[in-house]
Amino acid sequence: MNGDLWINLLKLLVGIGVLVKGADLLIAGAAGLARRAGVPEFVIGLTLVAFGTSLPELTVNIQASLESASEITLGNVIGSNIANILLILGVAGLIRPLSIHRTFVKKEIPLNFLSIVLLFAMVGDRLLDGSATAYVSRSEGLVLMTTFVGYLYFLAAFLEREAVDEDSARLSYVRGGIYVAVGLIGLALGSEWTVDGGVNLALELGVSQTLVGLFLIAVGTSLPELLTSAMAAYRGNPDIALGNVAGSNIFNISLVLGASSLINPIPVPDVIFKDIVLLAVATLVLFLSNYLGRKYTVSRPEAFVFLIIYTAYAVLSWYAEVKG
């Protein structure tokens, strides 16, 4: 590997690290300020915490759209969502079998699948036809943003409010403000370094920006979900692990992809069709295996299968790209 390749790889990894830490500080500061101002805990959970784990994807994609590196944008969203189901649930399920709440199976997973159907409806016919370049247009981005607002309403209307310790984790206004400011700076710098490093790394390796987005950037920006879900599984909180994945996947398609396409229409390369199909199949399998069997559990054998599928998918995708 030459010097430029190592520099770009380091820039990508450092950028992802700064992104993750920036998102963590921003959410900690914002949540602390909200508690200090008397905002109810359930409102914080519906907005700040749910939004927080998707911040790395959002900032990377907005930066990519601004820099006209839109191939990274779609790859990051699809790759993150695939990693959330197959990689993150696989890791969490190996740590501890995940007992799934019935509401998750009957509402959250179907909503995930419907968001994928919506995306496919926007670009699938153009991909299959092959007569024109497929795009996620600005008008379609507006539709996705509208579904994001609808999802927030769904959360507010159907999720139960839980009692919390009102005296816990209160930050002072000064400390909370510092956390928010440093977090925003970290997100801005991290997203710029991640996009620049990812684009240059793709050029150095001779692979597409889409592939870099699907794996390197997608897995990197999914680290908050991975760490949160793994720790939740270890502590015996499967609802947090599963809700984190489901909510993040819906946020990624509706908010992250919607906001990015409003800045610049996002081209949809032919090669990503198989990735969209895999995401749909993985979501459908997760739904059917629990809904039809009424077992509401992701067992260790199933989690192991998820990891095997993700590993095979990653290896075959990279092999096809290099050989192609």
What's the confidence (pLDDT) of residue 132?
55
- What residues does each domain of the chain span? 3-323
Average pLDDT, the chain: 76
The pair phi, psi for residue 268, each rounded to 5°, is -115, 100
The pair phi, psi for residue 39, each rounded to 5°, is -70, 130
pLDDT tens per residue across span 280-298? 888 887 777 666 555 667 8
Hey, what amino acid is at 90? G
Q: How far apart are CA 272 and CA 201, in angstroms?
A: 19
What's the confidence (pLDDT) of residue 145?
92
**DSSP 8-state assignment for residue 159:** S
Structure tokens at 197: 């490093």
For residue 215, give Cα distances in angstroms to 4, 95, 123: 20, 23, 21
What's the confidence (pLDDT) of residue 209?
73
What's the confidence (pLDDT) of residue 102?
65
- Residues of the chain predicted below pLDDT 50: 41-42, 45-46, 161-168
Q: What is the dihedral of CA 267, 273, 276, 282, to 10 degrees?
A: -170
Share of residues in the chain with pLDDT > 90 (%)? 6
Where do the H-state alpha helices sit in 106-172? 109-129, 138-158
What's the confidence (pLDDT) of residue 130?
57
Q: Among 80, 90, 64, which Cα is nearest to 219's?
A: 80
What's the confidence (pLDDT) of residue 53?
66
Using DSSP's 3-state secondary structure scheme, residue 48 falls into: helix
According to DSSP, the β-strands at 297-298 and 98-99 are antiparallel
Q: How far apart are CA 14 and CA 73, in angstroms?
A: 19
Structure tokens at 45: 């959970």
The answer to whether the CB of 117 falls within 8 A of the CB of 319 is no
Handedness of CA 17, 18, 22, 25 (dihedral sign): positive
Using DSSP's 3-state secondary structure scheme, residue 276 falls into: helix
Which one of 3.40.50.720, 1.10.3720.10, 3.30.420.110, 1.20.1420.30 gives the CATH number of domain 3-323?
Answer: 1.20.1420.30
Handedness of CA 166, 168, 172, 176 (dihedral sign): negative
What's the confidence (pLDDT) of residue 290?
64
